Structure formats: structure tokens, C-alpha cells
Amino acid sequence: MNNRQTPASMTRKTVSISAISIAFIAMLYAVFSLYMTGQPMIAVLVLIVAVGFAIIYGNGRYYAQRFIFPGVAAILLFIAFPVIYTIYLGFTNYSSFNLLSFERVTEVHLSKRVVDKTSERVFLLTREGTGYRIFFKSDAGGFLSDRVALLDGPETVSAVAVDTPPASPMAMKDVIKLRAPLGQVEVILPDGTSLRNSGLRKFASVQQEFQLSPNGQLVSNIGGPTLTPDHELGFYVDEDGKTVVPGWRTNVGWDNFKRIFTSKGIRGPMLSIFAWTVTFAAASVGLTFAVGLALAMVLQWPHLRAKTAYRILLILPYAVPAFISILVFRGLFNQNFGEINMILEGLFGIRPAWFTDGGLARLMLVIVNTWLGYPYMMLLSMGFLQSVPGDHKRAASLEGAGAWLVFRKITLPQILPPFLPLLIASFAFNFNNIVLILLLTRGLPDIPGTIIPAGETDILGSFTFRIAFMDSGQQFGLAGAITFLIFVVVAGLAYANFVAMRRQAAKRSAQ
Amino acid sequence: MIVENPRVLRRQKIMAHGFLWVFIALIMFPFLMVVSISFREGNFTTGNLFPTNPTLEHWYLALGLDYTRADGTVIKPPYPVLRWMWNSVKVGLIASAGIVSLSTISAYAFSRIRFRGRAALLDSLFIIQMFPTTLALVALFAIFDGLGEITPLLGIDSHWALVLTYMSGITLHIWTIKGYFDNLDPAMDKAAQIDGASPWQTFRFIFLPLAVPIVVVVFVLSFIGVVNDYPIASVLLRSEDSMTLAVGSRLYLNEFKYLWGDFAAAAILSGLPITVVFVIAQKYLVSGLSDGAVKG
């Protein structure tokens, strides 16, 4: 700010520059390690943040940006980037079958070992001082190994031909105790064959199942099929085109989207899930708004007493943590020992199957969500109702309008415009209200005849969650593709909300 | 409506109160049931609203104590509820502190410092704010799985990973606090500037002290939000000991191990503090809520 270089400001400057440098170097180290562990995309992102950090804090010109950099960096790293990255995954085959990199998959195949049954030899163990010797019987005498320590560590010893078996072999039960160290011993016979422990009583020669040929194929050492890497599928395939797990991550283009739109077992349930998602969100917004507004109007009535007490009681569902209320409802609605069915049976003699009947499960979700959501709408309505001028209503009543007509013609038109952005936001929230679905029904009951588990109460978000993290083999790629579809809907809603908000703000500043 | 007939008015009053009473009875039903269930014997037995043989068994277990039944059998607590609670409170406090500091500083810059791209940045923040974390879960898992290979401190099952993720949820709060700062008299920071204060000093010594009420609101709001989160925590936390309440409570009502009574006691124990905080703070929260939502 000023150019006087006092000693104090000099030291402060040095301290701050070294602090910035240390932080920058630490971030670069993180970039390097991320890159080395096979996370290039995240590495690049952290690199961008690190460079941005160095520029903004190392240069006096960007004084203002220093204030917002941490916040913007956090949003970039943990909201914007994850959304983009998830969508990117939608174009890959990332799943529990295709989890590793190509190099790692090759290593996995190359590290496979097979036991050659024809070379199996029975062994005996004999103690010698602090160590042991291993003896293999053969037609004429046998082979006795050099001394092994058997102290939990890899050991390689050679064996020589002898005429007689050892005098005092150890008992089986003592040999069993030494199984773990025996597993790490390799014995080389005079003819060069290497033997490893292959069973309780046996050693055998163990060899690599595959060997990497110069053209990239994996050739079997034991007469099995030759495997060729298929980079489009992300798997090694044998001569018949059958894939061998594990596979690796690879870009598959629009395949996941094609699967969604063309595979009948996915498209059918997707459509029904989409329809239910929209219905659920619309019903939730409509009902919470109606109940909330009605209660707000009753509470606003000037002749009503004990308003504060009513208000606190009425917002309780909003105050209790939602995860607790939802789980409470899960218990109350339980078909066999839930309190709701107990009461219904006592009164009407019915026991609705809340969790196994799709329609009833959906009804239950809407009931619970209305219970959870109306206080928010009520609180907002109370605020907006206050801004409706009382003389408009009074004038209308004098003209002979009934209460319903006043509400429809005066109150509603006045509160709806400011409410609109909030209703859109609430719709978007419920469109992705996976907490409710996951805690109450987990999407069950399942729709019959689908390829991937899809539930009748699943909304798009919970469906994605199930594909990615619950059953059906963690298909992150497919989940990413569906996320992209949700993203399109939410982006549309976000934009609509933005426009509604701007319009509202413009109208207010015009007044 | 304007010329009120006393008899009609009386009838309307009775109707209004009656409606509210019935409605509140319906709303309160789950709460009353849970209280009653927490004192009931066993985890399955259905009973009356007032338990016939009230027992403190579920409460002992929820508090992490062994319970000895009358016949001498000792019941061990099924889950570490208090540990989950501590996890929730710890993550909630650290994340909220982070959220409050990040969003207050950013809001100050957005409200008071003119810099290029300010309006565009604000608008994009508003749009990003609408994207639910659900969209990012798969990537969040992949990111922290990768970071965990560098340091377990930021891996799956680490609370720091969770805190970092929550700290990114600041956009709405930036808007709320910015709205508050916009309403403060600009003469104050002009005066400070004339006296030679740097923007940071203006923020530190003038705006921060004035922002205490809104900071408290944002802190409480974000604390409640963090403690209530289920999707992110359930993806990032896997081991039973590191779970937060929201994730752990789900274990009680498993199809194969259904602990209704134990759940009821644990639910009251863990839900009550948050509820009380909310009811006390609700007046301020409501105004913060609508201010943040409506200001454009």
C-alpha cells in the first residue's frame, strides 16, 4: 500500500512470502502424488488451485480476490468439479469390474499362479538345531534341502539327492503350526525345478499362468486361451470374445446413454422412475404449500389467541432433525409391528402393506414429506401474507365478496409472484430428495423384470445412488450418465429460478 | 368479514381452535409414540400409549450403559450412540466454523469491494447453489478414495474429508450475509477508508463486529444442515465407529435386526438438543431464511 520500507514491514513481507511459498510447495507436492497415484484429473485441478493461490496471494494487484479465493476454491473443488467429474464418469465404464488402470489389470493377470499337479511331491520336515530341513521322497531315496529357518520371511534353498529319508521326521501337528513360514519357502531341486508349498503334505512347482508376449497379448503357460486386450471394452478377451475380470477403466463414449435409452430393461424403469420423480416433487410442493398457506392464514387471523404457542407446536416437524423423523415414520408405518397399522386395524380392521405395495409406499412418501415440509411453507407464507394490504381485502368484503373469493382474487395473486422462486427451489429440492427415499423405503418395492434393481418408489437421485453405492456392482459409469440427465433437469430449474428471482428483484426496485 | 356478528365470530373461533387442535394432535402423534416406545419393554411388543411395564432399558443402552434385566441377563448396547453423537457434533462445529469464516469473508468482498467479474461470479454462485450434492456423490467418493492414497487424513472414513466437503456448501450463506452487509451504512467504511484502513482492516474491525447476529444465524443453520446430512456422510463414512448420527441411526431399523425400542430412546437423546437449539433460534432463523431467499 505505501512504499516506506520499515524493518517491521520488511520482516512481515518476508514471513508472508515464505508462508505462501511453503503452502504452494505443499500443494505442488500433493499434485505430484495425485498424479503418481493415477488421479491425473484431480491433480490438474489441484494444480489450478495452487497456481491461482500463488498468483492471488503473491501479487498485490489481486487484493480484492484474496477475500473470495478460499470460498471460490472450495466451491470449485467440491461442488463444481465433482458435478463435472461425475458427468465425465458417465462416458466411462467405471464400475466395480472396471476399477483399475490398464497397467494394474495386466499386473493382476501376470501375478496369477497355477500349481502344476504332475510335479507334486510329498514332503517331510525334520528339525536340525534351530532350523529345519525339507525332504522329498523319490523312487531312489529322495532330496534333502539345505537348512531353512522358517521365521516368517521368503527363503530360497537348494536340495541335494540323498539315499535315505531323515531318521526322525516331525509329527504332522507340528508341521501344521509351521504352515505360514513354509508357504514362503522355495526349494530348488538339482534339475532346476522350483517347488513351493501347495498343500498340507505337498510341495509342487508353481508357475505364472500368463506370460506377456511382445504384441501385448497374454499367452497362457498352461494351455489355456490367449487373452487379447480390448481397449474399447476395457477387458482382456479370450479367443471366443469372452471377457475376463478384472477390467480397466476406459472411455466408452455414449454407450451408457445408449443403454439407458435403448435397453428395454433400463428404459422402461427409467421412464416410470422419471414420471414418479416429477409426480413426487410436484405433489410435495403442492401439498406443503397448500397446508402451509392454510395454517398461516388461520394463524394470521386477528381474533385468534395463543398464536405463539400454536406456531411453536406447528413448526416442530421442521425443528426435529429430518433423519430422525423419517426413521420414526419408518418404524410407525411398519407393516407387522408398526403403531399406525395397529390403530388402523383397531378402527377399520385393515392392515395396509405400506412397504410392499408400490402405490401405498408412494402414498406414504407423500404423507411423510408433507409432514416434514409444511412448516417451511407456513413460515414463508406468514411473511408474505403480512405484505398483503388489509384495505384491499376489506374493500372486497364490502363489495360482498366471500372469504374464498377474496383469497382467490386478492390474496393469492399478491403472494404468488414472490413465492414463485421459492416454489421452484422447493421443487428442485424434492426432485432430488434422496434422504427421504433412502431412509424410508430405499426405493423398494422393486419393479419386477428390470436389468438393474429399480424400485417403484425410487426417484432419479436415489436410483443413481443405488446403482453407484448399493447393489448391482457399483456401476459408477451408468450412475454418471443418469446424473447427467438429472443435471439437465436441475440446470433448467436453476435457470428458471434465477429468472424468476431477477424479475422479482427488478419489480421491487421499480416500485 | 368486516362487520362481525358476535355469534358467527364465536363459531368461527371455535372452529379455528378446533381445527388447530386436531391438526396438532395429528402432527404430535409420532413424537408421543416415540416417547412411549422408548419406555416400553422389548423391541417388538406393541403396547398402549402408556406402557404397562415401563422400563429404562432402552435409555441405558442409548447412553452406552449395560442394562441388567430382572432375570439377571445383561444387555449390551447395540451401537455406540454417544460416539456417533460426538462425531456429529465435532464435524458440525468444525464445518460450521469453516463455513461461517469462508462465507463472511467472501460476502464482505462481494458487498463492498469492486472488482472485475463480480456480478458474473455472484450469478454463477447462485446457479451452482441449486445443484444438489446428489449429483456429485460418485465423484466425491472417487476424489476422496484417491486423496486417501496420499494421506489417510483425507480418505474415506476420515472426518476431515467430510468437513472439507461440507465447507464447500457456502453459496447460500454468502448471499444471506451479503444481503446483511448491503444494508449497512456505506458511510462507515468510507470513514474507515479516509482514516487509512485497508479493506482487510475495515472488515476485521468494522464489519465483523457488526455481523455477529447474522454470523450466529448462519452458524446455527449450517450446523443443523451438517448434522442432518445423510447422503454425503453415508458415502464417505464406512466404519461403525466413524459414523455420524444420521448414518448410524439407519442401522437400528434394519430388516434383519430391528431395534425399535432402542432406536426410540437413541432418537430422543440425539434429536432433543438440535430441536431445542432450533426452537430457541427460530425467530432469527426465520428472518435470516426469508432475507437470504428473497434478496436478489
**Mean pLDDT on B78-83:** 85
The closest CB to that of B2, out of A397, A432, A493, belongs to: A397
Contact at CB, A321 and B108, closer than 8 angstroms: no
- Contact call for residues B160 and B153 (beta carbons, < 8 A): yes
CA separation for the pair A199, A222 (Å, rounded) = 20
pLDDT in tens, A117-172: 777 888 888 888 788 888 888 777 788 888 888 877 778 888 888 887 777 788 88
CA separation for the pair B51, B41 (Å, rounded) = 8
Burial annotation B203-215 (CB, 10 A radius, 16+ → b, else e): beebbeeebeebb
Q: Is the pLDDT reported for residue A7 higher than 70? A: no
Long-range contacts made by residues A352-358, C-beta under 8 angstroms, separation at least 24?
A: A355/A441, A355/A444, A355/A445, A356/A444, A356/A445, A357/A445, A358/A445, A358/A447, A358/A456, A358/A457
Same domain, B123 and B63: no
**Mean pLDDT on A323-337:** 87
Residue B1 falls inside a structural domain: no
Same domain, B71 and B92: no
Which pLDDT score is estimated for B141? 84
C-alpha to C-alpha distances, A509 to A344, A502, A503, B111, B254, nearest whole angstrom: 54, 11, 10, 18, 54
Same domain, B156 and B192: yes
3-state secondary structure A95-145: CCCEEECHHHHHHHHHCCEEECHHHCEEEEEEEECCEEEEEEECCCCEEEE
Contact at CB, A393 and B227, closer than 8 angstroms: no
pLDDT in tens, A184-213: 888 888 887 788 887 778 888 877 778 788
From chain A, pick out residues whose CB is under 8 angstroms from the CB of B38.
Answer: none
Query: Any idea which architecture A113-208 has in CATH?
Result: Beta Barrel (2.40)
* Nearest-neighbour CA in chain A from B295: distance (Å): 7
Residues paired with residue A128 on neighbouring β-strands, in sequence order: A131
Under the banding of pLDDT at 50, 70 and 90, the label for residue A1 is very low
Domain boundary among B75, B104, B136: B75
Residue with the bigger pLDDT between A99 and B206: it is B206
Domain that holds residue B19: 6-75
Long-range contacts made by residues A4-7, C-beta under 8 angstroms, separation at least 24?
A: none
Residue with the bigger pLDDT between A412 and A471: it is A412
- Contact call for residues A384 and A292 (beta carbons, < 8 A): no
Give the CATH superfamily of A7-89: MalF N-terminal region-like (1.20.58.370)
Complex ipTM: 0.83
Pick from A167-181, A196-210, A277-291, B282-296 the range whose average pLDDT is largest. Answer: A277-291
Same domain, B95 and B48: no
From chain A, pick out residues whose CB is under 8 angstroms from the CB of B12.
Answer: 303
Per domain, the residue ranges of chain A are: 7-89, 113-208, 263-510
B76: closest CA among B67, B86, B85, B87?
A: B67
Q: Is the pLDDT reported for residue A22 higher than 70? A: yes
pLDDT in tens, B119-153: 888 888 877 777 777 778 888 888 888 778 777 78
Residue type for position A227: L
| Chain A residues 314-343 with a CB less than 8 Å from chain B | 314-325, 327-332, 334, 337, 339, 342
The closest CB to that of A479, out of B46, B128, B138, belongs to: B138
Q: What percentage of chain A exceeds 70 in pLDDT?
A: 97
From chain A, pick out residues whose CB is under 8 angstroms from the CB of B282.
Answer: 312, 315, 319
Residue with the bigger pLDDT between A458 and A77: it is A458
Class of domain A263-510: mainly alpha
* Nearest-neighbour CA in chain B from A152: distance (Å): 28
Q: Is the pLDDT reported for residue A287 higher than 90? A: yes
* A455 secondary structure, DSSP code: B
Residue B53 falls inside a structural domain: yes
State the pTM of this model: 0.77
Contact at CB, B270 and A321, closer than 8 angstroms: yes
pLDDT in tens, B165-177: 888 888 878 887 8
Which pLDDT score is estimated for B91? 92
DSSP secondary structure of A241-253 = --EESSEE--B-T
Under the banding of pLDDT at 50, 70 and 90, the label for residue A4 is low
Residue with the bigger pLDDT between A55 and A241: it is A55
Q: Is the pLDDT reported for residue A401 higher than 80? A: no
Q: Nearest 5°: phi and psi at A408?
A: -70, -40
Q: What percentage of chain A exceeds 90 in pLDDT?
A: 8
Residue B147 falls inside a structural domain: yes
Structural domain count of chain B: 2
**Mean pLDDT on A435-451:** 84
